[in-house]
Structure 1
Amino acid sequence: MISDVLAEAKDKMHKSVEAAKDDFSNVRTGRANPALFQKILVDYYGTPTPLGQLAGMNNPEARTLMITPYDKGSLKDIERAIATAPNLGANVGNDGTVIRATLPELTEERRREFVKIVRAKGEDSKVSIRNIRRKAKDDLDALKTEVGDDEVARGEKELELVTKAHIDAIEDALKKKEAELLEV
C-alpha cells in the first residue's frame, strides 16, 4: 500500500521533471533548435496542428532552420504560423518547396528576459512536485490506521528523498539552460 503511493508519486514527479525539461527546450537560445518550432500551431485545413506533424525540420546552420512540409499545399500556412509565433522573431522565407527560418542574434537584454522566463517555469515545476508530495503525504496519513505509524513515517522519509531528488533534477536542468542562454 505504501509502496503503491510512493510509486505513483515517483511516476508523477518524473513526468513533471520531463515536462519542465520540455518547457525549457522551447525557450530559444542563440541557436535554431527544431524543438522551438515543434509546438507552433499551424491552421491546417481549419484545424490547429503542431508544426512537427506537418513538416520535417533540420538546421543546416547555427541560426537557420530548414522546414520541409510533407504537404506542399500547407507551405503558406506554415510560413504564416512561424512568422506570427510569439518569442521567436524569426525571419521567414520560402523557395516554393522549403521554408527557411532565420533567428536573429539575441541581445544581452533579451537573454536576461529568457532567463527570467526559464526560472519562472522552473519554479512552477517545483511547485507541482511539492503538490504531488503533499497529495502523497495525505495518502500516507490515511493509511496510518491500516499499517501503523512507524511504516508511515518510513514512507514519508522515502517520499522526502524522492521529492528532493526530483527538485534537484529540475535545478540541474535549470542551471544548464541558464548557462546555455547566457552563453554568447
Structure 2
Amino acid sequence: MADQIITDAQSRMKKAEEALKRELGTIRAGRANASILNRVTVDYYGAQTPLNQVASITIPEPRVLMVTPYDKSALEDIEKGILESDVGITPANDGTALRLVIPQLTEERRKEIAKQVKATAEQGKVAVRNVRRDAMDSVKKGHKNGDYTDDDLHNLEDQVQKATDKAIKGVDAIAADKEKEVLTD
C-alpha cells in the first residue's frame, strides 16, 4: 500500500514533466520546429482533423516548415486552418505545398517568450505540488486508519518529498533548456 502511494506519486509527477515538455514544444523559439503545428486542426471533409494527419511536415531549412498535404484538394483547408490557429505565421501557398517561414525573433520578443516559458514551468511545478499534496493526504489517511506507525509516516513523507524535489528539479531543467533555446539564436 505504501509503495503503491509512492509509485503512483512518482508516475504522476513524471507525467506532469512530460506534459510540460509537450506544452513547451509548442512555443515558437525562432527556428523551425514541427511541434509548433501540433495544435493546428483542419476542416477536412467536415471533420476537425489534426494537421499532422492530413499533411506531412518537413523542415527543409532551419527557419522554414514545409507542409505538404497528402490530398492536394485539402491545401486551401490546411492554409485556412493554419491562419485560424494561434501559430502567428502566415503560410505561403505555392500550389502544391505551404511554406511557413519562421521570422527572426527580436530581443524583446525573446524576453516575452522566456516569461511565457517561466509561467508554463510554474504551472508544471503546481501540478507536481498537487500530486505531492494528494500523496501526503493518502499517507496521513493511512496513518490515521492505523495502517502506518509514526516512523512509517515520517519515512513515507520523506520519500514523497524526495520524489517531489526530484520532479521539481526536472521541471526546472526542462524550463531552463527551453529558455536557453529561446534566448539564443
Tell me whether the two structures share a fold, i.e. TM-score over 0.5: yes
Tell me what 1:106 maps to.
105
- Note the alpha carbon deviations across 1:116-166, whole angstroms, 9 max, x for none: 111110000100100010001000111111122211211110111110001
- Partner Cα distance (2:113, 2:46) in 1: 32
TM-score (norm 1): 0.94
Identity, % of aligned positions: 39
Contact 1:91 1:103 in 2 (8 A): no
Say whether residues 1:153 and 2:154 are aligned partners: yes
Q: Secondary structure at the match of 1:168?
A: helix
- Partner Cα distance (1:75, 1:129) in 2: 41
Tell me what 1:82 maps to.
82
Contact 1:89 1:103 in 2 (8 A): no
Contact 1:32 1:65 in 2 (8 A): yes
Large movers: runs of 4+ above 6 Å: none
Letter in 2 for 1:49: T
Q: CA deviation at 1:51?
A: 1.1
Supply the RMSD in Å over aligned alpha carbons: 1.2
- Note the alpha carbon deviations across 1:66-98, whole angstroms, 9 max, x for none: 111122222111111212322x33231222221
- Partner Cα distance (2:43, 2:117) in 1: 28
- Gap regions ≥5 residues in structure 2: none
- Partner Cα distance (1:81, 1:75) in 2: 10
- Gap regions ≥5 residues in structure 1: none
- Note the alpha carbon deviations across 1:101-124, whole angstroms, 9 max, x for none: 112111111111111111110000
Tell me what 1:167 maps to.
168
Tell me what 1:18 maps to.
18
Q: CA deviation at 1:46?
A: 2.6
- Partner Cα distance (2:6, 2:37) in 1: 36
Q: What is the number of residues matched between the two proteins?
A: 183
Letter in 2 for 1:150: D
- Partner Cα distance (2:175, 2:16) in 1: 14
TM-score (norm 2): 0.94
- Partner Cα distance (1:89, 1:12) in 2: 33
Letter in 2 for 1:12: R
Range with greater deviation from structure 2 (12-21 or 99-108): 99-108
**What does residue range 22-171 of structure 1 map to in structure 2 within 5 Å?**
22-86=22-86, 88-144=87-143, 145-171=146-172
- Partner Cα distance (1:111, 1:47) in 2: 36
Range with greater deviation from structure 2 (93-102 or 132-141): 93-102
